[in-house]
Each structure stands twice: as C-alpha cells, then as structure tokens.
Amino acid sequence: MMARIAILIADMFEDSEYLQPVAAFREKRHELIHVGLQAGGKVLGQQEQTPVVIDVSTAEADHADFDALFIPGGYSPDKLRTNVDAVHFVRKFMEEGKPVFVICHGPQLLITACVLAGRKVTGSKSIIQDIANAGGVYTDREVVIDGNLISSRNPGDLQPFSNACLEMLS
Amino acid sequence: MMARIAILIADMFEDSEYLQPVAAFREKRHELIHVGLQAGGKVLGQQEQTPVVIDVSTAEADHADFDALFIPGGYSPDKLRTNVDAVHFVRKFMEEGKPVFVICHGPQLLITACVLAGRKVTGSKSIIQDIANAGGVYTDREVVIDGNLISSRNPGDLQPFSNACLEMLS
C-alpha cells in the first residue's frame, strides 16, 4: 500500500541520508512531500549541495495529512529544532504513534519535542549524551526499532535503515 | 596580567564567534593556543572559510598548561564532542574552576562532559532543550556569568561576551 511520507528537511542535510531512503521509498511508489521552513524554497545538502524544493511549510503542514515522517540527518535538524511549527509537527507523529524514521542528527528534533523519554533510539555519536539526558535509551546498533520509531546512526547504516522503513510501511 | 588561553576548535566554527573574541584577547596581549583534532592541521570556518591552524592536538593538550578555555560556536563543537580527549580537556577546566568561555553551540561540549548540572548558562536557541536536559539553568540573556563560566547566545552578543571574558581575565 502506498504511504504519504512527510520529509522534514532544511539546509545542510546529509545528502546520502536523504537520497538513499528517498530512492527506496520512490521505488515502492510511496508519495513524498517535503516539509520545510519556507514553501517553494530550495534547500541544499552539506556535501553535494543536492537541491531539494520544499512543498509545504512547517506552519502549513498538517500531520493528519501524512502516514509517516522521515527526518534526514546532517545539520538540517539543528536548523529545524528552533522552529516551533517543526517541533509541533514532529511531536504529533510521535503522540499518534505514526511511523517516524530518523537517522544521525534526526533525533535532535525528537529531543526538542520532548518525546524520547523511555524510548529506545540510536543516532549520531555526537548526540549520545543529549539522547540519554532526554530520557532516551541509546543503543549502538545499525537500526533500532521501538514501536513506531525507527532510528539509525550514520550513512553506513542506510541500507538496513531503508529496509526497516519499507518493512514498517508495507 | 597575560593569560594563556586554549581555543578548542574544529571545522565549521562560526567565523565571527572566533574572530571577534580572538581580536579582543590579542589586543590585551593574552596568549592564544589552538587545540584541535590534529596538530598542524588547518580548520575552516563555516561562513568565510577563515583558516585556523591547530597548535596542539586534544590528545596532547594538558589543561594544566592553560589559564582559560574558549570554545567558539557553529558546528565545531558538534565535531569535537565525539572526541574523548576534547571532552576530557573541557571537563578538567570546569572541575578546576578555571575560566571557561562558550558561545552559541559551545555548551554542547559542556553537555557531553557532564558538567552543566545546576549551572546557569545560555547558548544557541537550537540547544535550549539539550541544556535543560543536562541540568543546566538556561537563561535568555546576552551574557550569563556563573562562577568561572561565561556564556553567550549568538554573534549578536559578541561585544558584551568579549568584554565579560576580558574582565574575568584581568
């Protein structure tokens, strides 16, 4: 079944952490909508300057319109977590138990949304202490699945990460 | 009196948050030593690609050789907090009550070093929740001084930040 997936993204995302899951989602014909700070704006990846056009702003986006949420890593989550609409958007997916896929620095948005307490999660080595302080149970594995939440550490985990996301959507 | 100041820095530091305090420190003839991941390596700022040469590696640096620590912001602290020597170096300054100056994302290193509990501190808007979760008392002011620790939020606070640092050193 086709799912409608919100991709929450801003400048300085880690290119591969966007491109590889997106290719996997598209292959299975899932619908992808890019949610960001400014509708119609273009954001760039930090390595290859991959251009991504934002379809819907965080202010306009309604979680009810989506089946799942995907947050690529890099420094994109750092930029998004200062935006109250982005944080609210993320919180709603977690509160309603809809599938949420995060990799690398993606959990930073879950921390600001205060939804990590007691949840098993992994992420970038740099945010391990932040995850623990947020009440998350950090696990050093390529893919961690806890209910609706799938997380991975870095680009090296992309293949199993994408596989786990597709499996949850199927 | 001249102080010997360690500047803990890596790639993607926020240029102005390095340049302006450094100019202020130099004007007062303080001695500046750049501590980073690789001695002799060159790191670059994220805005202007300001080149900075690392004098001493975090593995070789001894906190006892310095009177104060300065941590510029940007994404440099995110890169340094994965390095156990950098985290240990920071912890030692805090444990010994030596002056520590942080701005923007600089407190991320204090979080990983587990030295923020009960301390008044400010920093980048994006890390407010991380500071609170680490037990820090976040205060939205241009300069926050708590004992040996001086912190500021962003480049807009640089003038009062530099002034406060110089005053503590004098």
CATH number, domain of B126, equals 3.40.50.880
A28 burial via Cβ count (<10 Å: 0-12, 13-18, 19+):
middle
Percent of chain B's residues with pLDDT above 90: 99
Q: Which residues pair with A36 in a beta bridge?
A: A57
Mapped onto helix, strand or coil, the DSSP state of residue B73 is: coil
Task: Count other C-beta atoms under 10 Å from residue A7's C-beta.
Answer: 24
- Domain carrying residue B30: 4-169
Phi, psi of A161 (to 5 degrees): -60, -50
Please write the tens of the pLDDT for every residue from A12-60.
999 999 999 999 999 999 999 999 999 999 999 999 899 999 999 999 9
Which residues, 6 or more positions from B140, have their beta carbon under 8 angstroms from its beta carbon? B122, B153
Query: Chain B partners of A82 at a C-beta cutoff of 8 Å?
Result: 125-126
Contact A129, B112 (CB under 8 A): yes
To test the contact with chain B by mutation, choose from A129, A131, A138, A154 the residue with the greatest count of B C-beta atoms within 10 A, namely A129
The one-character DSSP state at B85 is: H
Residue keyed to tokens 């500021």: B152
Note if A104 is an active site residue: yes
Contact A130 B111 (CB under 8 A): yes
Of A75, A79, A126, the CB nearest to B81: A126
Query: Chain A partners of B84 at a C-beta cutoff of 8 Å?
Result: none
Q: What pLDDT score was predicted for residue B98?
A: 98
Contact A126 B78 (CB under 8 A): yes
Q: Is the ipTM of this complex over 0.90?
A: yes
Each residue's pLDDT tens digit in chain B (170 positions)?
799 999 999 999 999 999 999 999 999 999 999 999 999 999 999 998 999 999 999 999 999 999 999 999 999 999 999 999 999 999 999 999 999 999 999 999 999 999 999 999 999 999 999 999 999 999 999 999 999 999 999 999 999 999 999 999 99
Q: Active-site residue among B104, B109, B131, B144? A: B104
Whether A38 has its CB under 8 Å from any CB of chain B: the answer is no
Contact A126 B75 (CB under 8 A): no
**DSSP letters of chain A?**
---EEEEE--TTB-HHHHHHHHHHHHHTT-EEEEEESSTT-EEEBTTT--EEE-SEETTT--GGG-SEEEE--BTHHHHHTT-HHHHHHHHHHHHTT--EEEETTTHHHHHHTT--TT-EE---GGGHHHHHHTT-EE--SS-EEETTEEEE-SGGGHHHHHHHHHHHH-
- β-pairing, B42-44 vs B51-53, is antiparallel
pTM: 0.97
Vertex B105: Cα angle to B104 and B107 (nearest 5): 100
B130 to chain A, closest Cα gap in Å: 6
With cut-offs at 50, 70 and 90, classify the pLDDT of residue A127.
Answer: very high
Q: How far apart are CA B26 and CA A37, in angstroms?
A: 40
Contact B79 A126 (CB under 8 A): yes
Please write the tens of the pLDDT for every residue from A61-113.
999 999 999 999 999 999 999 999 999 999 999 999 999 999 999 999 999 99
Contact B125 A78 (CB under 8 A): no
Instruction: Specify the number of domains making up chain A.
Output: 1
Return the H-helix or E-strand segment holding B161. Answer: helix B158-169
Q: What pLDDT score was predicted for residue B41?
A: 97
Q: What pLDDT score was predicted for residue B154?
A: 98
Q: What pLDDT score was predicted for residue A154?
A: 98
Both structure tokens of B6: 């360690």
Please name which of B111, A138, B115 lies closest in space to residue B124, comparing C-alpha atoms: B111
Q: What pLDDT score was predicted for residue A1?
A: 73
